[in-house]
Amino acid sequence: MRLASVDAAALAVGLRPGMPLADARAQIGELAVVPHDPVLDHGWLDRLAQGCARYTPLVALDAPDGLILDIAGAVHLFGGEAGLVADVEHRLVRLGLTLRHALGPTADAARALARYQTRPAPDEGQAIRRLPVAALELEAEATTALVRAGLKTIGDLASRPMANIAARFGADAAMALRRLLGDAPSPLDPRITLPPVVAERRFAEPLGSTAHATRILAELTTEAIGDLSERGKGGRHFRATFFRSDGLARSIAIETGHPTRDTGLVMRLFAERMDSLADPLDPGFGFDMIRLAVPRLEALGASQLKLEGGAVKDAAIDELADRLATRLGRGRVRRLRPADTHIPEQAQLELPAADAPPPLPWQEPDPGEPPTRPFHLFDPPQPIEVIAEVPDGPPHQFRWRRQAHAVRRYEGPERIAAEWWRRRDNGGLTRDYYRVEDAQGRRFWLFRHGLYDEKPDPRWYIHGVFA
């Protein structure tokens, strides 16, 4: 086991990341060790990024421990670059973080400056030229080769012709250098793409109560919906972000099955969502900014209510589906749609009601014939013990859930082959389905998994129960 990361105090006594844990313990007896959890670290970084969305919506994660903010056009809100930096430091230091920041003309330049700058420089251009070649983050051999060639700083490298660098140290080195110098684009991959409709409000004094914050959210919703109706659009997805004054933020999202411009509906869904949160919205020292974003829009024309009230009833059901999906999770409110396959358990799709496609026709029943598919289906099928004729006779008796059933009537087999055209291994075994009725009149759907020439001792399963 090795040290993944150490704090300032540990650095001061000579511990370094990558050191074996045994050595570290030998040096420092009372070493406090916490197991490294990259997932948790990433989650924390993501929360910080969410909190930094107060400065600019374009925040990118630079795993494992960096954040890149595109502050172009957002600086004036905080009284210049210095003001913004001070605000960031003020908030994040309060969370117990050690910060190291840099401003740069491109994302890569800023990142390299934050991570590798050791000496101050009069301006950004000079600072980049004074960075060590390690800032290119090439492979270890390439970096060593550069240093051995006497090229110790980015400035040394930049003074050479680019073609020579590419020829000697590879195209990667040339590309990294050009990105650092701003000759090549270094695009940012923001955590959240810019939503089309945003309404936000900042407060001079933080709001201490959730109820007050909800009222502000209602005002923001009205604002955003005004914007939506000007565009002739309705929102399908609304996301409210509450920024706490200590630098963290909490997002709450809702979704509707149909585009909507109904403030009341949106607020009811938000209220539903807040009620169902496992850990309630905590204002902490207060919210100092609330933002409502509408990331997903769809065209929504002006609608007229039908005289007989049909549209109102449909809307009521849609709203119920949205409300239950908000409370329970979107996957728990479902509609059924047919799928084009004859494998029984794949013939129906259970889709979230919010984005189920328009209905497709189902298999029509044959006139005068009893149903050939069960009302209830077991997925996966449940194994049963069967007494049946070998090789392909019907079952005479079977035992399911510790209860024996004598078969009085049967129909079958209905042979359903595996989908050999979809899978390389021919898709598995053939199934022989029997519709059987026991002495009490209960009707079951049984199948033998495999023919006797496919498998020496095929197993029997119950796949469903008929009405």
Interface with other proteins by CB under 8 A: which residues?
312-314, 316-317, 319-321, 323-324, 327-328, 332-338, 344, 347-348, 350, 353, 359, 362-365, 367-368, 370-379, 403, 408-411, 435-437, 440-443, 464-467
- Nearest-5° angle of CA 265, CA 223, CA 232? 75
Q: How far is the CB of 323 from other proteins (least distance, A)?
A: 7
Specify the residue, 288 or 319, whose C-beta has the smaller distance to other proteins.
319
Specify the residue, 200 or 392, whose C-beta has the smaller distance to other proteins.
392
The C-alpha atoms of residue 260 and residue 233 are separated, in whole angstroms, by 8
Q: How far is the CB of 234 from other proteins (least distance, A)?
A: 21
* CA pseudo-torsion sign 42, 43, 48, 51: positive
Specify the residue, 191 or 323, whose C-beta has the smaller distance to other proteins.
323
Specify the residue, 34 or 467, whose C-beta has the smaller distance to other proteins.
467
Q: How far is the CB of 315 from other proteins (least distance, A)?
A: 9
Angle of helix 263-275 relative to helix 310-328, nearest 10 degrees? 30
Could you give the 3-state DSSP secondary structure of residue 242? strand
The C-alpha atoms of residue 159 and residue 76 are separated, in whole angstroms, by 36
Q: How far is the CB of 338 from other proteins (least distance, A)?
A: 7
* Helix residue spans in 276-328 (DSSP H): 310-328
Specify the residue, 16 or 376, whose C-beta has the smaller distance to other proteins.
376
Instruction: At 13, list the tokens.
Output: 């006594």
Q: How far is the CB of 329 from other proteins (least distance, A)?
A: 9
Q: How far is the CB of 386 from other proteins (least distance, A)?
A: 17
Q: Which long-range contacts (CB under 8 A, 24 or more apart) does 217-222 make?
A: 217/267, 217/270, 217/290, 217/292, 218/263, 218/267, 220/290, 220/291, 220/292, 221/263, 221/266, 221/267, 221/270, 221/292, 222/263
Q: How far is the CB of 274 from other proteins (least distance, A)?
A: 16
Specify the residue, 149 or 465, whose C-beta has the smaller distance to other proteins.
465
Specify the residue, 374 or 395, whose C-beta has the smaller distance to other proteins.
374
The C-alpha atoms of residue 356 and residue 349 are separated, in whole angstroms, by 10
- Nearest-5° angle of CA 114, CA 117, CA 122? 105
Q: Which of 149, 117, 114, 148 is nearest to 132 (CA)?
A: 117
Q: How far is the CB of 238 from other proteins (least distance, A)?
A: 20
Instruction: At 401, list the tokens.
Output: 């859930």
Specify the residue, 42 or 373, whose C-beta has the smaller distance to other proteins.
373
Torsion of CA 275, 281, 287, 293, to 10 degrees: -60
Q: Which helix (H) or strand (E) holds 51?
A: helix 38-52
Specify the residue, 98 or 403, whose C-beta has the smaller distance to other proteins.
403
The C-alpha atoms of residue 53 and residue 59 are separated, in whole angstroms, by 6
Residue 457: DSSP 8-state: S
Burial of 377 (0-12, 13-18, 19+ CB in 10 A): middle
Q: How far is the CB of 26 from other proteins (least distance, A)?
A: 50
Instruction: At 159, list the tokens.
Output: 């003074």
Instruction: List C-alpha distances in Å: 193 to 44, 54, 163, 319, 446.
Output: 20, 14, 36, 28, 51
* CA pseudo-torsion sign 310, 313, 314, 315: positive
Specify the residue, 104 or 374, whose C-beta has the smaller distance to other proteins.
374
Q: How far is the CB of 169 from other proteins (least distance, A)?
A: 58
Q: How far is the CB of 458 from other proteins (least distance, A)?
A: 23
The number of residues making up the chain comes to 467
Query: What is the C-alpha radius of gyration for the chain, rounded to an integer number of angstroms?
Result: 32
Specify the residue, 63 or 406, whose C-beta has the smaller distance to other proteins.
406
Q: How far is the CB of 377 from other proteins (least distance, A)?
A: 4
Specify the residue, 74 or 465, whose C-beta has the smaller distance to other proteins.
465
